[in-house]
Structure 1
Amino acid sequence: MTVMGLEVSDQLLGTFVPIAVYWVYSGLYMLLGSLENYRLHSRKDEDQKNLVSKGTVIKGVLLQQTVQAIVAVILFTVVDNSHKAAVEQKASMVVLIRQFLTAMVVLDTWQYFMHRYMHHNKFLYRHIHFQHHRLVVPFAFGALYNHPLEGLILDTIGGAISFLASGMTPRTSIFFFSFATIKTVDDHCGLMLPGNPFHIFFKNNTAYHDVHHQLYGSKYNFSQPFFVMWDRILGTYMPYSVEKRGDGSFEARPVKECKDD
């Protein structure tokens, strides 16, 4: 693929474009964070309730992205790229849509069951998954703040499985993983902006995931990043409503008491 007059391999772009997209898109949301009337939590809550500093979050995300890049390079090397290129030239829009949907379902399935297990296994939650839940008030660039082992299992391996299962090419993966990255950042941004297409087309959105980060919702709304089907099928869906607070900002509130599964 040619970028700014330079020939860059699809494998290289597939490795690093999603990482660049993560920081650019989350940076945009950090700039929009001053829009207090659209926040699910105040800036004060973000600073006081979170159990980890933003500097530590940045270091944790960079570590995960380093591991992610290494795995991506290995994966693209192992894949038969000449065969992939031949398939890519013949790929129709129908094939590309099928690959996207397959990758979305596979990634969601993997992450739901791994994520849920990390909550229900006390050792894994205490020593692994709780690192992500130090963000009681999620923010955009904290989306990939995880324990390194969790980042490897949930995100990196989950992404590799969805890539292989869908049969997509390295070039198609550039767009899929950039899209998945944007969606994940959006789910953690803490802003309910009007007209946000992710809130219009996906039930799994910023408010949905914010419920999961609260104490009352920690055993519900495990699904990420696209659909809510596994939560609904397996009884871990927590209904909620998004309402205005007295100060004009938003709040995601459960609409009925849920029983532990």
Structure 2
Amino acid sequence: MVLWEGYVSDEAMGTFAPIVVYWVYAGFYQLLPPLDNYRLHTRKEEEERNSVPLTMVVKGVLLQQLVQATIAQGLFVLTSKANPSGATVQPSIPIQILQFLVAMLVMDTWQYFVHRYMHQNKFLYRHVHSQHHRLVVTYAIGALYNHPLEGLLLDTFGGAISFLVSGMTARTAVYFFCFAVIKTVDDHCGLWLPGNIFHIFFKNNTAYHDIHHQLQGTKYNYSQPFFSIWDKLLGTHMPYYLVKRPEGGFEAQLVKDK
């Protein structure tokens, strides 16, 4: 029994819950006080280095989410698994956990190779992926600010393939996609907050992805959103260390022996 059972279908929740979670979680970060003692970049850097206004970022994210919702709804309709009574058969908790882990690994694999290729192919980087890198200093609401083609190839197709390969039901997908959205938003929040569980349990975190967004790090740390496995296996991992700025906040600095 889940909270939405009897009110909203699992397919509708799987389609729209990640969108709601995105704006609630990103909005939480946006409404926080300045927190200058925990920022990876100063507010001045954010104003000077980013080349796209917040209003355009919001419009870009909404467009990507519209495409995601359309494809997700179609995918759920095509793959709904029902028994003769019409109710979807839910697997056991251990099976759902396994499906969750498989989906995480599949999503990481898809996004690593597509993301890396978008950097290596000059045409794709110039005309597609560079839009995401207009946010040199990332913030939460801009986590899904991408060119529409990148949003389709990287995030939407990546999510669909993860769902299909793992074999999860729409109900399990609600939890998986909401978790993936929260992790992605957190990776772009630009804050190194004490006690952040994502920083504790994942090496691929806010500082890790911040390195990738800096000019000297764009050829490294492609992995997203969960693990850094492919970066380490294929030689694109850039280690870093955090230093505290005298004026407040932190800075992720590259280890120069790469």
TM range (shorter): over 0.9
Q: Which one-letter code corresponds to 1:64 in the other structure?
A: Q
| Aligned mates of 1:251, 1:98 — CA distance in 2 | 36
| Aligned mates of 2:89, 2:228 — CA distance in 1 | 32
Determine if the alignment matches structure 1 residue 117 to structure 2 residue 117: yes
Q: Mapping of 1:94-243 within 5 angstroms?
A: 94-243=94-243
Partners of 2:80 and 2:88 within 8 A in 1:
no
- How far residue 81 of structure 1 moved from its aligned partner, in angstroms, is 3.0
Partners of 1:85 and 1:169 within 8 A in 2:
no
Distance 1:160 1:40, change over 3 A: same
Match of 2:81 in 1: 81
Q: Which one-letter code corresponds to 2:243 in the other structure?
A: E
| Aligned mates of 2:144, 2:188 — CA distance in 1 | 9
Runs ≥4 residues deviating over 4 A? 1-6, 83-86
- 1:72-125 deviation per Cα after TM superposition (whole angstroms, max 9, x unaligned): 01101111331595431xx22211110010000000000000000000000000
| Aligned mates of 1:82, 1:146 — CA distance in 2 | 36
Partners of 1:111 and 1:158 within 8 A in 2:
yes
| Aligned mates of 2:131, 2:87 — CA distance in 1 | 40
- How far residue 5 of structure 1 moved from its aligned partner, in angstroms, is 8.6
Match of 1:12 in 2: 12
Q: Which one-letter code corresponds to 1:98 in the other structure?
A: L
Secondary structure of the residue that 2:89 maps to in structure 1?
A: helix
Partners of 1:2 and 1:8 within 8 A in 2:
no
Distance 1:60 1:33, change over 3 A: farther
Q: Mapping of 1:58-69 within 5 angstroms?
A: 58-69=58-69
- How far residue 15 of structure 1 moved from its aligned partner, in angstroms, is 0.3
Match of 2:27 in 1: 27
- How far residue 257 of structure 1 moved from its aligned partner, in angstroms, is 3.9
Structure 2 unaligned spans of 5+? none
| Aligned mates of 2:174, 2:4 — CA distance in 1 | 17
Q: Which one-letter code corresponds to 2:89 in the other structure?
A: V
Q: Which one-letter code corresponds to 2:73 in the other structure?
A: V
CA RMSD of aligned residues (A): 1.5
Secondary structure of the residue that 2:252 maps to in structure 1?
A: strand
Partners of 2:80 and 2:170 within 8 A in 1:
no
Q: Which one-letter code corresponds to 1:199 in the other structure?
A: H
If the length of structure 2 is used for normalisation, what is the TM-score?
Answer: 0.96
Q: Which one-letter code corresponds to 1:58 in the other structure?
A: V
If the length of structure 1 is used for normalisation, what is the TM-score?
Answer: 0.95
Q: Which one-letter code corresponds to 2:46 in the other structure?
A: E
Distance 1:87 1:118, change over 3 A: same
Structure 1 unaligned spans of 5+? none
Equivalences, count: 256
Q: Which one-letter code corresponds to 2:59 in the other structure?
A: K
Partners of 2:111 and 2:223 within 8 A in 1:
yes
Match of 1:253 in 2: 253
- How far residue 30 of structure 1 moved from its aligned partner, in angstroms, is 1.2
| Aligned mates of 1:148, 1:135 — CA distance in 2 | 16
Distance 1:33 1:148, change over 3 A: farther
Partners of 1:110 and 1:158 within 8 A in 2:
yes
Distance 1:184 1:5, change over 3 A: closer
Partners of 1:58 and 1:142 within 8 A in 2:
yes
| Aligned mates of 1:134, 1:85 — CA distance in 2 | 46
Percent identity over the alignment? 65
Distance 1:60 1:256, change over 3 A: same
